[in-house]
């Protein structure tokens, strides 16, 4: 039997690398989708390429779009990335690294690609536990997107091919994600999480994302194989 196709959103980060491995472990034939949305940390896209290649995935679509013209986020404009925040601050409120409607835009493209590729399954590595500040990472948001998607396309409405959004990481801690990824053989040295990497690609170790990553590896009892800037 031909494995069913699935669209997997791959950012180059730890969560999406794990999600890709999970989709494959569940028997899906993966079509990876990455977005060049003018993010400042372009190393992410290189990591996405490496992660996809290492997983043996041959189909990888990159969509270029420029959210910078919209402004409003430290990830795409010139606001300063916050550093050394306490864990309780990281967990509270919407961070300034929030990109307006990013997951909605990403999932909309995934929906278009799913229709063209006759895929009924989309995987996205959102997580609502460690980092609850993004409204578009919550289960109720994902459920609402799925419901909308099933009213949006010819595939769902005319051909009865309903669409499922898979969020295997949504209720896991970072430590649980890393533990599962290591079981599945994910090479985390290929991934990048830092919001503000050095020019040589070394992670800062101090932004919210680095702090969560480091704590996740500690919780999983594993060593993070990526390089950090010497000051850390």
Query: What residues make contact with a copy of itself under the rule CB under 8 A?
Result: 61, 63-67, 69-72, 93-94, 98-105, 108-109, 111-113, 115-116, 135-136, 138, 140-141, 144-145, 147-149, 151-154, 156-158
Q: Roughly how many angstroms between the first and final C-alpha of the chain, as a whole number?
A: 50
Name the residue nearer to a copy of itself (CB basis): 123 or 188. Answer: 123
Q: Least distance from C-beta 97 to a copy of itself, angstroms?
A: 11
Bridge partners (DSSP) listed for residue 61: 33
Instruction: Name the 3-class secondary structure at 28.
Output: coil
Q: Minimum CB separation from a copy of itself for residue 103, in Å?
A: 7
CA-based nearest residue to 114, from 57, 154, 75: 154
Pick 112 or 129: Cβ nearer a copy of itself: 112
Give residues with Cβ within 8 angstroms of 172, minimum separation 6: 127, 129, 180
Sign of CA dihedral 134, 12, 207, 99: negative
d(CA 49, CA 208): 24
Shortest spacing between CB 113 and a copy of itself, in angstroms: 6
Q: How far is the CB of 125 from a copy of itself (least distance, A)?
A: 17
Nearer to a copy of itself among residue 149 and residue 204 (C-beta)? 149
Are 128 and 137 within 8 A, CB to CB? Answer: yes
CB of 228 to a copy of itself, least distance (A): 30
Q: What is the dihedral of CA 27, 30, 3, 159, to 10 degrees?
A: 120
Q: Which is nearer to a copy of itself, 188 or 195 (CB)?
A: 195
Nearer to a copy of itself, 100 or 221 (CB): 100
- The residue written with tokens 């009924």 in the block is 120
């Amino acid at each position: 039997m031909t494995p069913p196709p699935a669209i997997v959103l791959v950012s180059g980060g730890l969560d999406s690398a794990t999600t890709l491995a999970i989709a494959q472990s569940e028997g899906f034939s993966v079509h990876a989708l990455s977005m060049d949305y003018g993010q400042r940390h372009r190393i992410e896209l290189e990591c996405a390429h490496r992660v996809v290649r290492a997983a043996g995935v041959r189909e990888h679509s990159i969509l270029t779009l420029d959210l910078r013209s919209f402004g409003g986020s430290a990830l795409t404009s010139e606001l300063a990335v916050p550093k050394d925040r306490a864990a309780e601050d990281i967990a509270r409120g919407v961070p300034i690294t929030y990109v307006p409607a990013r997951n909605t835009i990403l999932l909309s493209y995934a929906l278009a690609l799913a229709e063209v590729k006759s895929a009924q399954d989309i995987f996205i590595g959102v997580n609502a536990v460690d980092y609850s500040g993004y409204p578009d990472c919550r289960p109720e948001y994902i459920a609402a997107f799925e419901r909308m998607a099933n009213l949006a396309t010819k595939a769902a409405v005319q051909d009865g091919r309903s669409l499922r959004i898979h969020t295997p990481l949504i209720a896991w801690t970072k430590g649980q994600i890393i533990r599962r990824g290591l079981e599945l053989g994910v090479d985390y040295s290929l991934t990048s999480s830092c919001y503000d990497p050095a020019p040589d690609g070394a992670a800062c170790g101090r932004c919210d994302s680095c702090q969560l990553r480091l704590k996740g590896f500690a919780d999983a009892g594993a060593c993070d194989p990526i390089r950090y800037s010497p000051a850390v």
